[in-house]
Structure 1
Amino acid sequence: MGTTTGTAQEPTDPDPLGQQEESATRARPPILYKYMGVEYGIEVFTKARIKYTQPGELNDPFECKPFLLGPVDPEHRNESMASQHVKDNIEKIAQAAANKGNRQQRRQKNSRRTYKVIRSKALTLFHQSMDNLDQKHTHYINREVATYRDRIAMVCLTESRTNLLMWSHYADQHAGFVIGVHTAHPCFNRQRSEADDHNYFRPVIYSDVRPNFYMNQIRSREPIILTKSREWKDEKEWRIVAPLELLTKDPKNGKYFYDLPIEAIKEVYMGVRISPALRNRIIEELVKRQDQHTIKLFQMEQSERHYALVEKEVHYRT
């Protein structure tokens, strides 16, 4: 089914080697690509849905695991951790001790010295207490971050449709396919507020070090959900992170999905090793919807001279 025509085209992806600057502010491409395996891939057509994956199920064990230094950085500890009530109590204790010394010794000079010594000891004890609290709070915060990871899932896409490793890793050794989606479609833009870190495309940030910070320095969840090792930079990844309550859990397999309207799919690229059965199934699904929405279909083939993939358009419309 379907005829392959035209001259083989060498890859036209911008920056195919992933040499671009790893920036969280780079412009969103009009089309992003999702590598699909054989098992769930066809469901983008048959069930109009796309699978979201929880961080713990992804192939990178570092996903969404920052290094937390503590609840509050030392510079702001007095302002944020030590409430004014605690500070006032320290002052009152020190002042009371100084007054007592003044009554006993009847010397203003000794009274001031007593106040300074006691106040200094009180503050030292306070900071020691805060250090102990920091350890307990850091443990608690790490547990909260782990809980947050358990309550989200993500769908990961890329700027490249011709990455050989990604075809091997994410499309069943080239036996699956790739869909190209229209990134401006409303289904990919569901941000609920300016402060919402979820429900819209964000570029992954590639770094040599894990995110590390004090909790009071966090202004958004961006470093937690978007940072990956620079070794992954060739994937040129974009992702949408969503709370589980906004997704649909399949009772049969326990996986999470979100609706994907057929209008959001612009292109399909079939792998070099795709089976005749899956190839025919894809074409059948596209033919069913050809009056509703036209999707361009391509067959990937091996380049004769390079370690690269070339694509040929498949004309399937009846």
Structure 2
Amino acid sequence: MLFKYLPIERLDVIEKLSIRFSPFKSLNDPFESSPLIKTQENIDGTYDRMIANTLKEMDNIWESAPDEEKTPENKKILENSKNSFANEIYKKTNPHSFGLSLIEYLKYLCILSLSRTNSNILMWSHYASNHEGYIIGFHDSHAFLNQRNLRGEIVKPKPVIYSTKRPIFNETNNTCLELFCNKSIEWSYEEEERIFLNHVDDRRSYGKDAYGMDIVLSDIPIEAISSIYLGSNSNKDTEERILNALKYHNISIPVFKASISKSEYEIEFEKL
């Protein structure tokens, strides 16, 4: 089972049975939209050789120039031109720049972030309105969590790998899913798994978010939902809205209310 933490202002997710797969620029970790990728040209030294050959040609032109043009001022211009050329090539071909370009190219690739745990105190605080929100539990075997890619292949939820070192990927040997399933060790408490979806039709957009990205919602199949968990600080209105939504959609699933343990740093659940 996988879980989606939601704030109280997103009660519409269960009421309308629709949820957003977010583009990378809209995620709360700025490193998400800035992967480091080495191009094949960087790996095999093509760019290094091109820079070296060009700089050599510029030096050859200087050597063949008339003596009267070999002034200190012109020499300074030459060195500045060489540096500018090398820097410009590096800016366009370094792993950071190439990663930014890839994000622009893959602007329709979006993700739904889920968690393997429903009882993380930080997650309840950060993503569920300080324990006032709720969680939707999903059957991880349902087709909704096993989307098909553009080649028609089924892609299971991908666990995020957490690391202290920022990885640099190879454009030819790493897949997109590998590129976008790596985060800093500081995020490891989330126990995140990701579902990927291509939103190629922006005509379904409900508007733009704060980052200028389309807000496209996907329908949630009733059969994909396994359970609901109300936060320990959730009020009666939240509870009633969720129960009414389940009744309206004829969804028969267990609903639990969280509480704070009286003896441990733990969250406990009791079925309503």
TM-score (norm 2): 0.73
Query: Which residues in structure 2 correspond to 1:12-23 (within 5 Å)?
Result: none
1:230 maps to: 185
Output the CA distance in 2 between the equivalents of 1:130 and 1:220: 30
Counterpart check, 1:148 vs 2:143: no
Listed as ranges, the gaps of 5+ residues in structure 1 are 1-30, 83-128
Q: SS where residue 238 of structure 2 aligns?
A: helix
Q: Quick one: which of 194, 199, 202 aligns to 1:244? A: 199
**Per the alignment, do residues 164 and 225 of structure 1 end up closer, same or farther by CA in structure 2, a change over 3 Å counting?**
same
Query: Which residues in structure 2 correspond to 1:160-175 (within 5 Å)?
Result: 160-175=117-132
> Does the Cα contact within 8 Å between 1:65 and 1:224 map onto a contact in 2?
no
1:49 maps to: 18
Listed as ranges, the gaps of 5+ residues in structure 2 are 51-84
Query: Which residues in structure 2 correspond to 1:66-215 (within 5 Å)?
Result: 66-75=35-44, 77=46, 136-138=92-94, 141-148=98-105, 150-192=107-149, 200-215=156-171
How far did residue 226 of structure 1 move?
0.7
Output the CA distance in 2 between the equivalents of 1:263 and 1:243: 22
> Does the Cα contact within 8 Å between 1:72 and 1:214 map onto a contact in 2?
no
Output the CA distance in 2 between the equivalents of 1:148 and 1:262: 33
2:244 maps to: 284
2:78 maps to: none
User: 1:222-280: CA deviations, max 9, x gaps?
Assistant: 33211101121121100112223267422487522111012111100000111211111
Q: Which amino acid aligns with 2:257?
A: Q
> Does the Cα contact within 8 Å between 2:34 and 2:100 map onto a contact in 1?
no
2:261 maps to: 303
Output the CA distance in 2 between the equivalents of 1:226 and 1:169: 20
Output the CA distance in 2 between the equivalents of 1:214 and 1:289: 46
User: 1:87-108: CA deviations, max 9, x gaps?
Assistant: xxxxxxxxxxxxxxxxxxxxxx
> Does the Cα contact within 8 Å between 1:63 and 1:225 map onto a contact in 2?
yes
User: 1:87-132: CA deviations, max 9, x gaps?
Assistant: xxxxxxxxxxxxxxxxxxxxxxxxxxxxxxxxxxxxxxxxxx9997
Identity %: 28
1:36 maps to: 6
Q: SS where residue 218 of structure 1 aligns?
A: coil
> Does the Cα contact within 8 Å between 1:207 and 1:228 map onto a contact in 2?
yes
Output the CA distance in 1 between the equivalents of 2:116 and 2:201: 25
How far did residue 176 of structure 1 move?
0.5
> Does the Cα contact within 8 Å between 1:73 and 1:214 map onto a contact in 2?
no
User: 1:288-314: CA deviations, max 9, x gaps?
Assistant: 344xx4211000011111111110001
**Per the alignment, do residues 75 and 36 of structure 1 end up closer, same or farther by CA in structure 2, a change over 3 Å counting?**
same
Output the CA distance in 2 between the equivalents of 1:285 and 1:132: 56
Output the CA distance in 1 between the equivalents of 2:243 and 2:128: 18
Q: Which amino acid aligns with 2:124?
A: W
Output the CA distance in 2 between the equivalents of 1:36 and 1:245: 26
Output the CA distance in 1 between the equivalents of 2:43 and 2:87: 10
How far did residue 158 of structure 1 move?
0.4
How far did residue 283 of structure 1 move?
1.1
Output the CA distance in 2 between the equivalents of 1:62 and 1:271: 30
TM-score (norm 1): 0.64
**Per the alignment, do residues 219 and 68 of structure 1 end up closer, same or farther by CA in structure 2, a change over 3 Å counting?**
closer
